[in-house]
Structure 1
Amino acid sequence: MAPDQDPSTQVLTTGDFTDADDPLRLFDAWLSDAAASEPNDPNAMALATVDPDGLPNVRMVLLKGLDTGFVFYTNFESAKGREILASHKAALCFHWKSLRRQVRVRGPVAVVDDAEADAYYASRPRGSRIGAWASKQSRPLEGRFALEAEVARTTARYGIGEIPRPAHWSGFRLTPVSIEFWHDRPFRLHDRVQFTRQAAGEPWSKARLYP
């Protein structure tokens, strides 16, 4: 979070985002702002899951789609893949330092359909498609050479033509039941607005929160 600031030094403002009624439209607008101001990966988000022992895990991933939910892709045999498939729940956090904004999202997670996963996989660079086959994500690696050797084997295997999507590689869609928007204000008197609903498709409730 930003340190205490003199109001005269704070240039960036949000407008009155607290009047918004649709959190997904508001998020889309904030993401567009971030695309214009963030130096790297405005779609980067922290993804939080819980392991079988109830211990949280968090890592940075990239948002790849926004519709009724937040879409991202991964190896289902990775730690995050296994944890999401076990609980079907997750949380996200976006922090755009250049804008002094943060968004937190929570909700149930479902696997995207095969057609959607195939279309996104086909759009990836060829090297990334090879990597999806070559990397045994989250599992022990004896050395960099072993990974490079697997990449070479996979490259030779798919030397020409299309590279099919691995069965263990696909996408998730987190459908939010809670979205909180945070914007930095002077002296830590920040603006916070939380949207909540009981389930997807139900109307949103909105509340301002103390900073």
Structure 2
Amino acid sequence: MTTPPTVDLALLERWLACWSLARGLPLPRREDGGLVVDVGWSGQLRRHVFVDAGPALQACAAGIDAPFVYLKAAVMPQALRDALPHRWVLEQPRYLMHRAEAMSDGQAIDGTAPAGYTLVAEREHGAAVLRLADADGMTAASGRIVLNSGTAVFDRIETHAAHRRRGLARALMFALDARTAQADVRERLLVATEAGRTLYERLGWRVLAPYSTAVLPAGA
């Protein structure tokens, strides 16, 4: 069995760099013991990412007054809650997941779509985007992958409600993984919701660490 990587600042930086490239954002920079991305969206101005909820994260939080700033750490939600003033609001828990071996054999993605769907490949910012389109050409499911410096990040795997429980997310994961295998990339990372975690574990992914988020909302 492959030994899972250590969750340290370097691993989080690899994850966050791919996340940023997928959205056309500046690459993360190291600052005061953590990582920072200037997001610049109306609902998310900036995100700070830390390995733990220790003094570096707490000092960062103490210096933040503006709303819509996010703090993220590879800790359980309660550990993040205990480290922050009550004005910070926790989001639903997430999980940082990893897989080293290929899910597929690296063959071309053609023919991997379930019956009744067509696999469409596009590009957006730094990400390869795959869509499963229904018979009317409408997107039923989509996902994207970023390959950067030996790391593949699987991102935004989504299935529209009317098309769920038909194996579309699984098909997308194998199609995205084929891209990873073709590029001979060994480190696969993703951040999953509680519901997504179940699917990914069935596909052989393993949880490296919890990934918790707090945000300073407007009026806090």
TM-score, length basis structure 2: 0.25
Which entry has the higher C-alpha Rg, 1 or 2?
1
Which structure is higher in helix share?
Answer: 1
By percentage of residues, which structure has more strand?
2
The structure, 1 or 2, with the larger RCO (C-alpha pairs under 8 Å, 6+ apart) is 2
- Give the alignment's TM-score, normalised by structure 1: 0.26
